Amino acid sequence: MKSFDAIVIGGGQAGPFLAARMVEKGMKVALIERKFLGGTCVNAGCMPTKTLVASARAAHVARNGATYGVNIPGEIGIDMKVVRARAETVTMNARNGLIGWFAGMDDMTVIYGHARFEDPKTVSVNGETLTAPRIFLNVGARPVIPDLPGINDIDYLTSTSIIHLDTLPRHLAVIGGSYIGLEFAQMYRRFGAEVSVIEHGPKLASREDEDISDAIADVLRSEGIDIHTGVSDIAFARSSDGITVATDSARIDASHVLIATGRKPNTDDLGLDATGVITDKHGYITVDDSLATNVEGIWALGDCNGHGAFTHTSYNDFEIVAANLLDGGDRKVSSRILAYALYIDPPLGRVGMTEKQARASGRKIMISTRPMSRVGRANERGETKGFMKVIADAETKKILGAAILGIEGDEVIHGIIDAMNAGTTYPALQWSVPIHPTVSELIPTLLGDLKPV
């Protein structure tokens, strides 16, 4: 049996950085990863997909060049092999950077293999047994495959496998109208494929307010994406030239099917029964405000704990645990203000409460909206789709949430994120002097138009 000061299971966005901090503190650490360092973000999520989004945007801009007085003769061609290779290069650079970083740490042992608990202080991997007083789980999540008629008879794609395509689908059917599915839908439409989105719920991006969801649908439809919502029945069958997707309202002749119906935590094969660690009905590990499980000496970070499924929330999990265990801090998950983005083009930047949540809270609230068509930067760039929206507490004057669907919305939202984290009231922000011409310069104006509802 090999002994360590700490064992980290999973090489995503929380575990490796925590392991490195512990090594800096003089600890002997084992990092166990069953596949690739970097987790979903580096290998199958943010980095490759946003690289693909950039290629798709380049194609879109080229096709619309004449609008800006830039004439490109002939049809815009897409070399999917180059597109794929570019995304793979970005991934490999990041992954190899982590490998090289850890190779330089004398007290870091990186083990590739599938770890399982033998008891709360012991894990086995590759036939070896390791023990440590502290064990950190950062095992991430994977795509959910729903039990739909005919699904096992077809070769479907997931968000992991689709990034390896080096040919262009004739017609991509996307099952699921949430964040992952919508990004791939627009991306492949811009590459030149026919695209259909099939969503069980009544609207796309169901977490968002109805006006945001409607605007997202308008953006996608304007690019020729076929959208089906409120679909109750879906079945698949092989056809002579692809896959038939039959719903209660349509029949789609697809060449490829992407299943984008959510993700589930990778906790079902860790041997958690040997530890007594509690999970919820979906398999997420239950943690307290410091990310500790119910079993002393075991923590859960990242996607597997159900407190955010984003790279930035996973990294913040690392920051919370490191601050509390290594720096004498008292940081809490409940202090985190959730923010995220949807990377269609234009992107959606979101922070805090939706309007629906704010109304349900019983507060007296104020709301302001402004169309992107009234934003100078958007007009100058010829990208006026979407709108800005902010919700505030009428009594405390604190900002409760915001949504910016529009050009650079994923960057502009950070002005609101920073204000909310600092506890700044909205009247104070109205007196800031932003740079012109930017999208952010409209934040004071947006706040100035807040009205009670």
Q: What is the CATH number of the domain that holds 97?
A: 3.50.50.60
Are 311 and 303 in contact, with CB atoms under 8 Å apart?
no
What pairs with residue 300 in β-bridges?
137
Considering the domain architecture, whether residues 45 and 98 belong to the same structural domain is answered as yes
Considering the domain architecture, whether residues 162 and 245 belong to the same structural domain is answered as yes
On whether residue 246 sits in a domain, the answer given is: yes
In terms of Cβ atoms closer than 10 Å to its own Cβ (0-12, 13-18, 19+), residue 339 is buried
CA neighbor of 278 nearest in space, from 116, 118, 120: 120
In terms of Cβ atoms closer than 10 Å to its own Cβ (0-12, 13-18, 19+), residue 127 is exposed
CATH label of the domain that carries residue 385: 3.30.390.30
Are 390 and 340 in contact, with CB atoms under 8 Å apart?
no
On whether residue 102 sits in a domain, the answer given is: yes
Q: How many domains does the chain have?
A: 3
On whether residue 253 sits in a domain, the answer given is: yes
Contacts of 304 (CB under 8 A, 6+ apart): 10, 137, 138, 139, 140, 141, 265, 266, 267, 284, 285
Whether the link from the prior residue into 202 is cis, omega within 30° of 0, is no
- Strand 263-265 with 387-393, pairing: unpaired
Residue for token digits 């949504």?
Answer: 403
CA angle 346–52–284, rounded 5-degree value = 85
Residue for token digits 């009205």?
Answer: 451
Give the start-end residues of each E strand in 126-200: 128-131, 134-137, 141-143, 171-175, 194-198
On whether residue 345 sits in a domain, the answer given is: yes
* Distance of alpha carbon 134 from alpha carbon 122, whole angstroms: 10
Considering the domain architecture, whether residues 108 and 95 belong to the same structural domain is answered as yes
- Strand 399-405 with 348-352, pairing: antiparallel
On whether residue 369 sits in a domain, the answer given is: yes
The ranges of the chain with pLDDT < 70 are none
**Which of 230, 261, 292 is the endpoint of a domain?**
261
Provide the annotated binding site: 50, 176-183, 199, 262, 303
Considering the domain architecture, whether residues 128 and 274 belong to the same structural domain is answered as yes
Active site residues: 436
Considering the domain architecture, whether residues 129 and 275 belong to the same structural domain is answered as yes
CA neighbor of 140 nearest in space, from 46, 215, 65: 46
Distance of CA 443 to the CA centre of its chain: 25
Are 363 and 426 in contact, with CB atoms under 8 Å apart?
no
Are 135 and 7 in contact, with CB atoms under 8 Å apart?
yes
Considering the domain architecture, whether residues 435 and 369 belong to the same structural domain is answered as yes
* Cα end-to-end span (Å), the chain: 64
**Which of 261, 290, 307 is the endpoint of a domain?**
261
On whether residue 146 sits in a domain, the answer given is: no
At 309 the pLDDT is 87
Provide the annotated binding site for FAD: 50, 303
Range of the domain at 250: 151-261
At 375 the pLDDT is 97
Distance of CA 281 to the CA centre of its chain: 22
Q: Which two tokens stand for residue 94?
A: 């990041």
Q: How many residues does the chain have?
A: 453
Whether the link from the prior residue into 444 is cis, omega within 30° of 0, is no
Phi, psi of 59 (to 5 degrees): -65, -40
Considering the domain architecture, whether residues 427 and 351 belong to the same structural domain is answered as yes
Considering the domain architecture, whether residues 364 and 331 belong to the same structural domain is answered as no
Phi, psi of 314 (to 5 degrees): -65, -45
Considering the domain architecture, whether residues 301 and 351 belong to the same structural domain is answered as no
On whether residue 78 sits in a domain, the answer given is: yes
On whether residue 120 sits in a domain, the answer given is: yes
Considering the domain architecture, whether residues 310 and 400 belong to the same structural domain is answered as no
Considering the domain architecture, whether residues 65 and 189 belong to the same structural domain is answered as no
At 30 the pLDDT is 98
Are 148 and 236 in contact, with CB atoms under 8 Å apart?
yes
Provide the annotated binding site for NAD(+): 176-183, 199, 262
Considering the domain architecture, whether residues 27 and 134 belong to the same structural domain is answered as yes
**Which of 318, 335, 352 is the endpoint of a domain?**
335
